Amino acid sequence: METLRLPKIRLLIYGAPLAVIFISVGLAVSPLLVAYPQLATGIIYDLTLTSPVIYLMLIWNRPIPKATVVPIFIVGVVLASFLLPDNQHFHLNLVKTFLLPVVELLVVTGIVLKVRKTVNAFKANASSEPDFYLTLKKSTMEALEIPLLARAMSTEIAVFYFSLFPWKKEVPRDNEFSSYKDNGAIALLGAIIFILVAETFVLHTLLAHWSTTFAWILSATSIYTGFQLFGHIKAMIFRPSTMTAEALHLKYGLFGDITIPWEDVDRVALHTGSMETALPGMEQLALLKGLETANVMLSFKKTQTIEKLYGFTKSCDNLLVHIDNSPAFIEKARAAILNLNTKM
């Protein structure tokens, strides 16, 4: 019964406000509005108040973020603005003048509270998880409770954090393994950043004669891409892969994280660039695949998931990675697997 009841609840939650919106839009585009201009007042308040309030009431005691009511309100304001003629915007202007600032204030207050909650959660998690990026992702997920928003926010924070702050490299522990010293990734990414800077200046100068707005949009995009790549380079340096008794945590800067329980690892071997790359479900933990080298191959007993930038994921059954000290890595990994099998 629960499986049948859940879709009905969702249909009610989303269907009720959508029904109000569709009916309002139907009235706004029908001849009735011309015959009865007073309908405009009802349409405005149905779109901007009735629909959002119904939705808010339906989700009030459910694990759905209350902030999701804001897009419904905004959609209502936009629809009313476009569908109704200018001479019928009196009540819509009241909504924009008095209600919209209140909504904006509530949104800003909510963001401030979420950020404060994120900071507190980060402090609580930092003692148990030393990796900044993993702690940040865990904390934002706990604080925001909206996976898509939490992943985007943690990525944006991480890009600027690694670009601007960590500079002093700590002495690596016995269970930490770097992946950047001799695979050519940093040199390649550095060259791309240099080209971005040079091309951005040239293109901005040329495009500014055609469209200043487009030139600045392109320049801002290029600058941000450069920040992402620089943050990734720094994260590669300051985020070594780690081993614990239970799992292997492979970290590739900001563009790839994967945690594999030892019980799921079938084989760890030196990669020589042979036909192993043709194995099914093969992935490489790299941004510039084919240009970055890989010297270790891992095969899994069941499919594993790589978490990439902004929370995007990729499945793999075999994985190629670059480890600077690959012999020690392979030795420790095999010892961990053997130790686990001995306990079992």
In this prediction, residue 119 carries a pLDDT of 63
More confident residue, 302 or 343: 302
Of 278, 282, 236, 233, the closest CA to residue 257 belongs to 236
CB 133 within 8 A of CB 160: no
CA gap 127, 162 in Å, rounded: 20
What radius of gyration, in Å, describes the C-alpha atoms of the chain?
27
Query: With 60 as the cut, is the pLDDT of residue 1 above it?
Result: no
* 3-class secondary structure, 100: helix
Query: With 50 as the cut, is the pLDDT of residue 4 above it?
Result: no
Query: With 80 as the cut, is the pLDDT of residue 145 above it?
Result: no
Q: Are residues 193 and 329 in the same domain?
A: yes
pLDDT tens profile 196-249: 888 887 877 777 777 777 778 888 888 888 889 999 999 999 999 999 888 999
Question: Which of 50, 73, 88 corresponds to the end of one domain?
Answer: 88
CA gap 247, 258 in Å, rounded: 10
Query: With 70 as the cut, is the pLDDT of residue 112 above it?
Result: no
**Total domain count, the chain:** 2
Question: Which of 39, 64, 88 corresponds to the end of one domain?
Answer: 88
307 inside domain: yes
In this prediction, residue 2 carries a pLDDT of 43
112 inside domain: no
- What's the whole-model pTM score? 0.67
135 inside domain: no
Question: Which of 62, 88, 114 corresponds to the end of one domain?
Answer: 88
Q: Are residues 232 and 343 in the same domain?
A: yes
125 inside domain: no
Residues β-bridged to residue 313: 307
Distances (CA, A) of 144 to 18, 124, 153, 344: 25, 16, 9, 39
In this prediction, residue 238 carries a pLDDT of 92
CA gap 301, 280 in Å, rounded: 13
pLDDT tens profile 156-197: 888 888 988 888 877 778 889 999 888 888 888 989 988 888
CA gap 46, 178 in Å, rounded: 58
CA gap 190, 226 in Å, rounded: 9
Residues β-bridged to residue 307: 257, 313
In this prediction, residue 116 carries a pLDDT of 67
Percentage of residues in the chain with pLDDT exceeding 70? Answer: 88
273 inside domain: yes
pLDDT, average across residues 16-29: 92
Q: Are residues 73 and 178 in the same domain?
A: no
| pLDDT mean across residues, the chain | 84
Q: Which two tokens stand for residue 251?
A: 């970290």
pLDDT tens profile 272-295: 775 455 677 889 998 888 788 899
246 inside domain: yes
197 inside domain: yes
pLDDT tens profile 47-69: 999 999 999 898 888 877 777 88
36 inside domain: yes
Residues 6+ apart with CB under 8 A from 289: none
Specify the range with the lowest mean pLDDT, choosing from 81-85, 215-219, 254-258: 215-219
* 3-class secondary structure, 271: coil
CB atoms within 10 A of CB 252: 25
pLDDT tens profile 332-343: 999 988 887 776
CB 47 within 8 A of CB 76: yes
Range of the domain at 223: 173-344
Of 144, 137, 158, 139, the closest CA to residue 114 belongs to 144
